[in-house]
Amino acid sequence: MAEGVTARATAVAILDGVLGEGRMLSDFSGDHLAPADRARALRLAETVLRHLEPADKLLEKHLRKSPPLTVRNTLRLAVVEREQGAPAHGTVNAAVEITRQGGKRTAHLTGLVNAVLRALPDPVTLPVQKLPRWIRQALVHSYGRDAVTAIEAVQSQEPPLDLTLRDGFPHPEGEILPTGSLRLRSPGQLSTLPGYAEGGWWVQDTAAALPAKLLAPQPGERILDLCAAPGGKTLQLAANGAQVTALDISAPRMARVEANLTRTGLTATLVTADALHWQPEAPFDAILLDAPCSATGTIRRHPDLPFVKDGSELPSLTALQSRLLDRALTWLKPGGRLVFSTCSLFPEEGEAQLTAALSRNPTLTVERPTLDGIDPGWWTQEGALRLRPDYWADRGGMDGFFMARLHKPS
């Protein structure tokens, strides 16, 4: 059996799930694999998804008709591995072995796989993958073609890993970003890194760490983290000494919040409930609403998203965001503040939501505090923060986010 077949075959199976069944990468458990094979399989699948369209265009030159999905994904994997610098001999042998292991469905196509892969140019070079039309058109309209091209360039690369650090705790060595996050290029096994056992940090993209900083939690304040899972913002608020209530509708995702609190030794009141029906016992000093959204700002870390979603859920998401925002405002003390954020690049889930909220609630005002490391050009005219994946492109980019801090009059 060719070396590395287990991880590669698993990567092909993951791609089958994403491209054939519409499953997210996060649905893959991989409990039957050794940790190293599981990590490699996911990394290979993510890399293929970041280069899928140009890989297909190259393969089309050598295929008379499209083979079954599993074989096509095997070919895609081999092409992308070649583009990433893997030796031709190993990738071809592994692809042929995966095809042979597929039994009656694929074994008769081993000759095809061998012939196609041996006909590839050396070296293999692939252009940057473009976003699907349903995303790209909207972003070109909002930010311009050059900005979208820059976003696509960042999304074609494997992203670095960001950590949010706690003062006074050990942490790994890495690049401290202007906003305070720690960026790692090749983190390896997280549980072995300095500070993990002590709860000195947690994984959180530098952009995702900013809504809590924008809220500016104070010790002793009663703060609601609405739509809290998986809990990075809850940990930030609790680490600042706030009395945090973390609410989310998903019990499995809230279990992750609880696990993160346990590891870090931080405390929060956890509530699993539908925010549209839940009612707090008393109003809050501050609320952080990181609302459900299209997540188009996170494609650099979730390259499966463009292949699983098609934008049809956008109207229902924007309606839900408005309802959650209006409901959260009723739980806010007079003089309190609320941060609304979405990890979306669509203005309908950001700038337009802010405009509509101010129209519905004319006494609200937007506050623009000083935040470390923020480029002045990232602030909108209304005082909100608009982040894009191509910001800090030379450092590996960041997630796309929109966030605004609203003040309720006394």
Q: Residue 40 belongs to a domain with what CATH number?
A: 1.10.940.10
Residue type at 140 in one-letter notation = V
In a domain, 129, yes or no: no
* Helix or strand (DSSP H, E) at 222: strand 222-226
Q: Which two tokens mark 51?
A: 């280069």
Tell whether the model's pLDDT for residue 121 goes beyond 90. Answer: yes
pLDDT at position 33 is: 84
Tell me which residue of 85, 99, 83, 88 sits closest to 8, measured CA to CA.
99
Same domain for 89 and 215: no
* Helix or strand (DSSP H, E) at 49: helix 35-50
Same domain for 362 and 247: yes
What is the CATH classification number for the domain harbouring 304? 3.40.50.150
Same domain for 103 and 177: no
Share the mean pLDDT of the chain.
96
Same domain for 67 and 166: no
Query: How many Å apart are CA 23 and CA 17, to the nearest integer?
Result: 5
In a domain, 140, yes or no: no
pLDDT at position 97 is: 96
In a domain, 132, yes or no: no
Same domain for 342 and 204: yes
Positions annotated as catalytic residues are: 343
Q: At what angle do helices 5-21 and 88-101 cross, to 10 degrees?
A: 60
Same domain for 180 and 72: no
Beta-carbon contacts of residue 370 (< 8 Å; ≥ 6 apart): none
Same domain for 193 and 78: no
| 136-148: pLDDT as tens digits | 999 999 999 999 9
For residue 308, CA distances in Å to 24, 138, 155, 397, 404 come to 7, 18, 16, 23, 29
The residue count of the chain comes to 410
Same domain for 377 and 298: yes
Q: Which two tokens mark 281?
A: 């016992």
In a domain, 127, yes or no: no
Structural domain range at position 384: 161-407
* Helix or strand (DSSP H, E) at 367: strand 365-367
Dihedral over Cα of 86, 88, 90, 96: its sign: positive
Same domain for 292 and 384: yes
pTM value?
0.94
Same domain for 217 and 108: no
Q: Which two tokens mark 331?
A: 């739980």
In a domain, 146, yes or no: no
Q: Band of the pLDDT at 35, cuts 50, 70, 90?
A: confident
| 164-222: pLDDT as tens digits | 999 999 999 999 999 999 999 988 889 999 999 999 999 999 999 999 999 999 999 99
Query: Of 101, 118, 135, which marks where a domain is finished?
Result: 118
Same domain for 381 and 241: yes
Same domain for 364 and 234: yes
Tell whether the model's pLDDT for residue 3 goes beyond 60. Answer: no
Tell whether the model's pLDDT for residue 2 goes beyond 70. Answer: no
In a domain, 299, yes or no: yes
Query: Of 88, 118, 148, which marks where a domain is finished?
Result: 118
Structural domain count, the chain: 2
- Which DSSP category does 80 fall into? H
> Percentage of the chain surpassing pLDDT 70?
99
pLDDT at position 1 is: 38
Tell whether the model's pLDDT for residue 335 goes beyond 90. Answer: yes
pLDDT at position 174 is: 96
> Percentage of the chain surpassing pLDDT 90?
93
Tell me which residue of 163, 165, 79 sits closest to 129, measured CA to CA.
79
Query: Of 85, 118, 151, which marks where a domain is finished?
Result: 118
In a domain, 223, yes or no: yes
Query: How many Å apart are CA 398 and CA 343, to the nearest integer?
Result: 11
pLDDT at position 32 is: 82
In a domain, 154, yes or no: no
